[in-house]
Structure 1
Amino acid sequence: MTDFLLELLCEEIPARMQQKASEDLARLFTEKLAEAGLKPDSIQSFVTPRRLALIASGLPLQTQAVNEELKGPRADAPPQALAGFLGKTGLTREQLVERPDAKGNVILFAVIEKPGRATADVLAEAIPAIVRAFPWPKSMRWGKASQTTESLRWVRPLQGIVAILGEDLVDIEIEGVRSGFATLGHRFHHPHQITIGGASDYVEKLRACHVIVDHAERMAIIEAKAQEAAAAHGLMLVEDKGLVAENAGLTEWPVPLLGDFDPAFLEVPPEVIQLTLRTNQKYFVLRNAAGALAPAFICTANIEAHDGGTAIVAGNRKVLAARLSDARFFWEQDKKTRLEDHAKKLERITFHEKLGTVADKVERVAKLARWLVEEGIVTPSSASQTVTPANAGVSSGGAPSPEMPAHAGMTKAELADMAEQAARLCKADLVTEMVGEFPELQGVMGGYYARAEGLPDAVADAIRDHYKPVGQGDEVPTAPVTVAVSLADKLDTLVSFFYADMPPTGSKDPFALRRAALGVLELLTRNVVRLSLWESITRALAGMTDLHCAPGIGDAEYELHLRSMNKTFETLPDFFADRLKVQQREAGVRHDLIDAVFALGGEDDLVRLLARVRALQAFVETPDGTNLLAGYKRAANILKKEAPFATAVTPAQAGVSGDGALPHETLAEAGMTATAYTPEPDEAALIAALDAAEPRATKAIAREDFAAAMAALATLRAPIDAFFEVVTVNDPDPAKRSARLALLARMRDAVHGVADFSRIEG
């Protein structure tokens, strides 16, 4: 057994591609060896900006000989079939083996012995195939060979191949690049060739030449030394695993260095500085002991500088100063124009070709936000907690005082005015210089500009946070103005794209509608906002009417508009139901219970629906709930076989009273004749239990006390169990049979007042 080393040397591999490339190399190598019957004990893969490498341990020097059997025709097959099989296998008739099958027919088999091969030969074939089939996201051709499409494609020009099995070179040639024992060390510290003896000394020889081939080790070095550098100056490193991985992908010998910048730049919003450091420069952000942004950064050099990094830091400081100067210029220029004037430019930006401009969307959102407040859906008391800098996710100076919430003492009229104002300005920062440079700051910069021009804190906060939540785990706004604008924005997006018949399909969701729906659900449930889904869709569709039904619209266009509206009503509620299941799955809520409540119909208040679902889940997990569900299913199965009771009826329609009598018209439909009789004791007990439980459950549901409704249903558990134990439902007497079936229908419908138990699993 021996080890194999492979290294593919090239020009700089983009950092974002490195980890996946390392995984792909190990996967493809494993698959190719498996085809030849080889399986190494372990594979360790490496990647740096200039090389992909792997070490396969525990490979045999030769593959094992194997016998391969090919099934041929029957022994009495026509000569042409036999000749074709012999030509395929290269054997003679005498070399074929005869075997009977299960039917007694004699079948011919070719047994072909494949001798073992040298592992080096297998590798010499596998490596070129891997290189040519490598799945780079982007690749290139180079040199004279690039004149033909048959030439090699690689992420960057391939410069060298090291392929050593044990201590022997595996001879490989790919597009003029031949394998050898030599590779290159660090570009500056050791630019000369290094001779590699094999897998055993590869990692340490390169380390001696200032190349750390293990990506994870470079990440650990960057993180540890960056924290040390920050602590030495009394600062704290802002944790950023993605940036650590990116810097590890940019260096082969990482050396974190601390630098500083002019504190005067801190007058620019901190989010801008952070993005400039991280996105533009790949620097780490630092905070002081108080948690405020510090005028300092950590960059990652790729060399051990003779001067300790002084010149490197000075160069990075100079570049950063230019970047921050640009940011400060954008900040100052944008503040010279009021948000109201910025917003006028939104007429020049298309939201979607079928849905008008961003200005059109803003108009729809403003009307919807005002409606949410005026109808009392979002009120000053909707917020479940005060917005503070800590929970709003903004830095110092970016939020109102936690002692005085932005919405404190606000009347409904004031709240409506502020919601409309915030909605009309919430997209204005899209046309600013700063958001043009940093699209990630849309909303955030609008909040800063609003506060800078003296707009109310509630309006500035709503502009800043109206995109939230943007995904699971993101902060959910609670301030009422923000809730109104955020809800209006997301509802308009959903209704607009469903109206235009562009819902998500499969894994494709180009307009992030699933995220928007989850955002609506989070806002409603987190703030206990009592919103009718049907009514909100109706209000949002009014914006589509304004957009598409201008005076003089033709009949065909209006008919298309009506069809689009109806389609939205048909599809969007189901979409919300699916998203609700996704949202509640993590909270441990069963999807079948959500289906059971939705199946009742008419329940479009998602807060009330979830309260009902949670009470139902708590109930069905108790012994009473489990047994009542079993009794319900037994009753439902019996009723399915009986035509008059196959569909749900209300207790009034069922008409069963304490004496067990059934209305004459129902009997007539069943072809039966009414005959008075006295109910059996267990039958009478169930009737009495229903007489007591039905009104209690109905009243509890009316006051939205779903736990009490479940408790009322729980009283039916013992009577229904006893009923099925003693009473014969399909009695020969038609009157008894019909009355008992009606009693079961009454029990079923009493349960349906809470949920459709037929949808519940178990």
Structure 2
Amino acid sequence: MPDLLLELFSEEIPARMQARASADLKRLVTEGVVSRGLTYAHAEAFATPRRLALALAGLADHAPTTREERKGPRVDAPEKAIEGFLRSTGLAREDLSVRDDKKGQVYFAEIVRPGRPAAEIVAEVVEEVVRTFPWPKSMRWGNGSLRWVRPLHSILCLLSSEAGAEAVPLKIDGIAAGKVTRGHRFMAPEPFAVQDFEDYRAKLDRAFVLLDPADRAEKILHDATQLAFAQGLELVEDKGLLAEVAGLVEWPVVLMGRIEERFLDLPPEVLRTSMKEHQKFLSVRDPKDGRIVAYVVVANRDTHDNGATILAGNARVLAARLSDAVFFWENDLRTPLAAMTEKLGHVTFHNKLGTQGEQIKRIAELARDLAPKLGTDPDLAERAALLAKADLASEMVYEFPELQGVMGRYYALRAGEDAGVAEAAAEHYSPLGPSDATPRAPLSVAVALADKIDRLTAFWAIDEKPTGSRDPFALRRAALGVIRLVLENGLRLRLSELLAQGYPGAEPEDLMSFFADRLAVHLRDQGVRHDVIRACFELGGQDDLVLLVARVEALQTFLGSEDGANLLAGYKRAVNILEQEERKDGVEYSLDPHVELAETEAERALFTALDDATRQLAPALAAEDFGAAMAGLAGLRAPIDAFFETTVVNSDKPLVRRNRLCLLNRIRKVMNQVAIFSVIEG
């Protein structure tokens, strides 16, 4: 079985596109060869700035001949139907056979697809993949019709086996496939031939190209960490930037420079953001005080002066960038926070919802109302909300929008505001996603809740709700933020009351349903079953999220036990019989059953068990002790099982039958005090 090696060599591929492109190459080629009858054992794809590569091991050397039998239209069918069937099969009418079928005589086609050699199939697949590759952006060059992310220079495509390696006969827009590739653009530009993937990878290493992006990232991380450690410093972790930098170089050479003293008073976040966004530098900090004091440059080549010229050039560009940052910082510090906030009164938040200034006033009022419930000072909560978004009018945040909130904290502290007010400015946007930290300080929580509730209710009021994958105002994220703020801080708040304090005109039921969906998604990610969530939510009035989640977790634990699983089965049996008989009789059996009409010991024991469960459930639910409530239900398992084993519900005595159906209804009523068990999947 041969191995396939494919390399598409081009001008520089943007780093952000490389991971997706290598995955697409692997997917498209493997799907293409498999759909044409070839099998393979293993596939691996790689990307560097100048090449996409794919190695397919254990490829079948020949696709087998296949035969497919396809049923067609009846012999007396309209001529157009028969012609369409012939076109789909590629056969002539005389090639069809006629067989008897239930509905008369029917045409059958036997389609034979002769086997083909792997080289022919690979050539066909590669050309199709190259011509239809799903780049986010692509270009044409010269006079050809081919589109690629950047001009495509060469194609290496070979099949190798113990007998040797053969280039696949393939030509795309004048580019003929061969066995030749090139190494590093500057350090090893001469072409060289390869025999198989191992030979390819080894020769690339010698030609100063690390093929695997994971290897490049590992080398950068190792060398940068060692450089920093040697100077008593530490590298600031940034996995996203590390992956991006690994996509910018084929032969990473790590260099470290020092930030000039005149820039060290800038906030570390400003230094990190400026170096990351403008120059793709990794930041290095002093572990003693956390200040960013140095940076790592990843060059794409070794130089005779060990990178001194590269560092000097980067230092000049960095100095210009940081000079701009100092200018923004100093200008912002001279502007009072109140003046920044006042500017937002002239900035539109949404054309149907007024200005950002009006939004801030709404948030401040709501934060003030929430403060006592969260155990914090209303005046401070209002002050924090009024200043939390002030930095949106700052020059620094205009330049670096990702620093919103972060800069607000610095400006508030420099202005002498309360430390809690400053912290609320930094934290009120959080949590931004499932892995983002949730604020814990009551003041920050009050402003964060107010911000998200205002956003949700305001956009709900103007009917700008998420639809499908479309959520331009990040309302799903806002709802998840409210849920996490409430749950992770153990806040005993009524969600319906919170929403009622938001923007007037929102549909409360619709918005509560939206929150229920978001809660289900949040809990499902934590391993909670969706039907268990629904069983508790459908009790109604479940807008105390802390209490609801406690009930859900207790119910899921109970259902995972033998008693819980068996009791659920007994409940469903009871309810199925009850609903079936109610439909048949056209009545509801909702009256209280009478124990004096019981005829069997098991029947009387079930009455007693339901009485006992009722007595246990009332105080347990009142005390919010759902574990005790589940224990009360567990006592019903054996009596229900015994009842169905010994007692016929549909007695031939009408009075006894009706009483037993009412007894089944009582099982439902008692258990539905804890959750609506009927929606739980059996």
Shared topology, TM-score over 0.5?
yes
The residue type paired with residue 622 of structure 2 is A
CA distance in 2, matches of 1:346, 1:623: 60
CA distance in 1, matches of 2:73, 2:613: 76
- SS of corresponding position for 1:377: helix
CA distance in 2, matches of 1:740, 1:84: 64
Residues 1:66 and 1:480: Cα distance change in structure 2 (over 3 Å): closer
CA distance in 2, matches of 1:100, 1:180: 51
For the 8 Å contact 2:589–2:661, the answer to whether it is kept is no
For the 8 Å contact 1:74–1:108, the answer to whether it is kept is no
Where does residue 196 of structure 2 map in the other structure?
199
Kindly report which structure 2 residues correspond to 1:278-317, keeping only aligned pairs within 5 A, or say none.
278-290=276-288, 292-317=290-315
After TM superposition, give the deviation of residue 602 of structure 1 in Å. 2.2
Kindly report which structure 2 residues correspond to 1:537-556, keeping only aligned pairs within 5 A, or say none.
537-540=499-502, 543-544=503-504
Deviations 1:123-182 (A, max 9, x none): 44443332211111101122355xxxxx22111122233344555544544334444555
CA distance in 1, matches of 2:542, 2:83: 74
After TM superposition, give the deviation of residue 60 of structure 1 in Å. 6.5
The answer as to 2:264 corresponding to 1:266 is yes
> Unmatched 5+ residue regions in structure 1?
146-150, 381-414, 545-563, 661-676
Kindly report which structure 2 residues correspond to 1:164-313, keeping only aligned pairs within 5 A, or say none.
164-165=158-159, 167-179=165-177, 182-191=180-189, 193-199=190-196, 201-290=199-288, 292-313=290-311
CA distance in 2, matches of 1:728, 1:37: 61
For the 8 Å contact 2:96–2:108, the answer to whether it is kept is yes
For the 8 Å contact 1:639–1:645, the answer to whether it is kept is no
After TM superposition, give the deviation of residue 700 of structure 1 in Å. 3.2
The answer as to 2:522 corresponding to 1:583 is yes
* Larger Rg over CA atoms: 1
After TM superposition, give the deviation of residue 17 of structure 1 in Å. 0.8
Where does residue 158 of structure 1 map in the other structure?
152
CA distance in 1, matches of 2:81, 2:442: 82
Residues 1:580 and 1:75: Cα distance change in structure 2 (over 3 Å): closer
The residue type paired with residue 612 of structure 1 is R
The residue type paired with residue 444 of structure 1 is V
CA distance in 2, matches of 1:246, 1:111: 50
Residues 1:129 and 1:85: Cα distance change in structure 2 (over 3 Å): closer
Where does residue 326 of structure 1 map in the other structure?
324
Where does residue 502 of structure 1 map in the other structure?
464
The residue type paired with residue 637 of structure 1 is N
The residue type paired with residue 540 of structure 2 is G
After TM superposition, give the deviation of residue 35 of structure 1 in Å. 4.7
Residues 1:143 and 1:753: Cα distance change in structure 2 (over 3 Å): same
CA distance in 1, matches of 2:206, 2:631: 75
After TM superposition, give the deviation of residue 441 of structure 1 in Å. 1.1
After TM superposition, give the deviation of residue 523 of structure 1 in Å. 1.1
The answer as to 2:7 corresponding to 1:13 is no
CA distance in 1, matches of 2:560, 2:196: 59
For the 8 Å contact 1:47–1:214, the answer to whether it is kept is yes
Aligned counterpart in structure 2 of residue 379 of structure 1, from 366, 375, 382: 375
Where does residue 749 of structure 1 map in the other structure?
669
CA distance in 2, matches of 1:65, 1:655: 73
The answer as to 2:135 corresponding to 1:136 is yes
The residue type paired with residue 214 of structure 1 is D
For the 8 Å contact 1:185–1:209, the answer to whether it is kept is yes
After TM superposition, give the deviation of residue 249 of structure 1 in Å. 1.1
The residue type paired with residue 342 of structure 2 is K
CA distance in 2, matches of 1:136, 1:178: 22
After TM superposition, give the deviation of residue 637 of structure 1 in Å. 3.3
The answer as to 2:391 corresponding to 1:429 is yes
The answer as to 2:568 corresponding to 1:574 is no
CA distance in 1, matches of 2:569, 2:81: 64
For the 8 Å contact 2:582–2:588, the answer to whether it is kept is no
Residues 1:585 and 1:197: Cα distance change in structure 2 (over 3 Å): closer
Kindly report which structure 2 residues correspond to 1:338-487, keeping only aligned pairs within 5 A, or say none.
338-373=336-371, 376-380=372-376, 415-487=377-449
For the 8 Å contact 1:75–1:108, the answer to whether it is kept is no
CA distance in 1, matches of 2:117, 2:577: 73
For the 8 Å contact 1:5–1:198, the answer to whether it is kept is no
- SS of corresponding position for 1:162: strand
Where does residue 51 of structure 1 map in the other structure?
51
Residues 1:495 and 1:111: Cα distance change in structure 2 (over 3 Å): closer
Where does residue 665 of structure 1 map in the other structure?
none
For the 8 Å contact 2:41–2:56, the answer to whether it is kept is yes
Residues 1:75 and 1:431: Cα distance change in structure 2 (over 3 Å): closer
Residues 1:102 and 1:524: Cα distance change in structure 2 (over 3 Å): same
Deviations 1:445-500 (A, max 9, x none): 11111111010011111111001111113211111111111111111111122222
The residue type paired with residue 311 of structure 1 is T
More off after superposition, 269-278 vs 5-14: 5-14
CA distance in 2, matches of 1:528, 1:55: 52
- SS of corresponding position for 1:161: strand
CA distance in 1, matches of 2:671, 2:51: 68
The residue type paired with residue 14 of structure 1 is P
Aligned counterpart in structure 1 of residue 546 of structure 2, from 595, 604, 607: 607
TM-score when normalising by structure 1: 0.79
Deviations 1:630-685 (A, max 9, x none): 44334433432247996696xxxx4567x75xxxxxxxxxxxxxxxx787765555
Residues 1:623 and 1:196: Cα distance change in structure 2 (over 3 Å): closer
Where does residue 396 of structure 1 map in the other structure?
none
After TM superposition, give the deviation of residue 580 of structure 1 in Å. 1.5
- SS of corresponding position for 2:46: strand
Where does residue 514 of structure 1 map in the other structure?
476
After TM superposition, give the deviation of residue 421 of structure 1 in Å. 1.0
CA distance in 2, matches of 1:85, 1:535: 64
For the 8 Å contact 1:212–1:252, the answer to whether it is kept is yes
After TM superposition, give the deviation of residue 690 of structure 1 in Å. 4.4
For the 8 Å contact 1:219–1:245, the answer to whether it is kept is yes
Aligned counterpart in structure 2 of residue 598 of structure 1, from 534, 537, 542: 537
CA distance in 1, matches of 2:483, 2:291: 34
For the 8 Å contact 1:285–1:297, the answer to whether it is kept is yes
More off after superposition, 680-689 vs 84-93: 84-93
After TM superposition, give the deviation of residue 443 of structure 1 in Å. 0.9
Deviations 1:423-460 (A, max 9, x none): 11111111111111111111111111111101001111
CA distance in 1, matches of 2:605, 2:63: 80
After TM superposition, give the deviation of residue 183 of structure 1 in Å. 4.1
CA distance in 1, matches of 2:105, 2:148: 55
After TM superposition, give the deviation of residue 351 of structure 1 in Å. 1.9
After TM superposition, give the deviation of residue 348 of structure 1 in Å. 2.5
After TM superposition, give the deviation of residue 122 of structure 1 in Å. 4.2
CA distance in 1, matches of 2:419, 2:589: 54
The residue type paired with residue 511 of structure 1 is F
For the 8 Å contact 2:86–2:93, the answer to whether it is kept is yes
For the 8 Å contact 2:268–2:292, the answer to whether it is kept is no
- SS of corresponding position for 2:501: helix
CA distance in 1, matches of 2:105, 2:173: 53
Residues 1:722 and 1:21: Cα distance change in structure 2 (over 3 Å): closer
CA distance in 2, matches of 1:49, 1:539: 53
For the 8 Å contact 1:89–1:110, the answer to whether it is kept is no
Residues 1:457 and 1:648: Cα distance change in structure 2 (over 3 Å): farther
Instruction: State the percentage of identical aligned residues.
Output: 50
After TM superposition, give the deviation of residue 246 of structure 1 in Å. 1.4
Deviations 1:340-362 (A, max 9, x none): 21011112222222222222221
